[in-house]
């Protein structure tokens, strides 16, 4: 009888060891599977995010500029150079940059939107002098009433020459 008990105990010990190993291996497999799924989800969500961001940026640039059709006139180089000097001595760079959007639109974006002709040079010069809003979203351009119409036209001529 003692032999039968010791055989039963050893059988139970072996069975417990086997089931314990199986339970451990199930836990290990579960953890590995969970980590694999987590890494896979993170990988694909990051890849899609960069692709989606590129699509959003391209749509923003399309909506942001809204190019106005029209014919470009030739721009006199000397007038554009004088406009560049006037801009450098003014407060334009407080809100504008040449290549990228800041508080206001980039000069290159303004040049893309408006045709370089007399009508739009006059229109934009008046807008600089009187101030404006809602052409490029919500920023408000403060009036620059101290500028003469001729100086504002030279500044606009330079901006439209940046294309």
What CATH class is the domain 77-161?
Answer: mainly alpha
Residue 111 in 3-state DSSP? helix
Structural contact between residues 124 and 114, judged by C-beta atoms closer than 8 angstroms: yes
Kindly state the average pLDDT of the residues 126-147: 92
pLDDT digit string, tens, across residues 22-47:
556 777 777 787 777 777 777 776 65
pLDDT digit string, tens, across residues 111-125:
999 999 999 999 999
Residue that the structure tokens 């995010």 belong to? 49
pLDDT digit string, tens, across residues 75-105:
999 999 999 999 999 999 999 999 999 999 9
Average pLDDT, the chain: 82
Domain ranges for the chain = 1-65, 77-161
Structural contact between residues 122 and 152, judged by C-beta atoms closer than 8 angstroms: no
Beta bridge partners of 141: 132
């Amino acid at each position: 009888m003692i032999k039968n008990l010791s055989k039963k105990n050893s059988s139970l010990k072996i069975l417990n060891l086997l089931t314990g190993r199986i339970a451990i291996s199930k836990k290990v497999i579960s953890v590995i599977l969970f980590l694999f799924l987590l890494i896979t989800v993170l990988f694909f969500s990051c890849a899609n995010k960069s692709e989606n961001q590129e699509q959003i940026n391209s749509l923003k640039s399309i909506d942001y500029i809204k190019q106005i059709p029209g014919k470009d006139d030739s721009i006199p180089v000397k007038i554009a150079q004088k406009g560049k000097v006037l801009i450098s001595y003014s407060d334009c760079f407080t809100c504008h940059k040449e290549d990228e959007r800041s508080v206001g639109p980039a000069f290159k974006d303004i040049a893309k939107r408006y045709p370089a002709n007399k009508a739009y040079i006059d229109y934009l010069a008046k807008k600089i002098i009187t101030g404006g809003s809602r052409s490029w979203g919500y920023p408000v351009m403060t009036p620059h009433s101290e500028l003469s119409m001729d100086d504002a036209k030279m500044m606009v001529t330079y901006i439209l020459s940046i294309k």
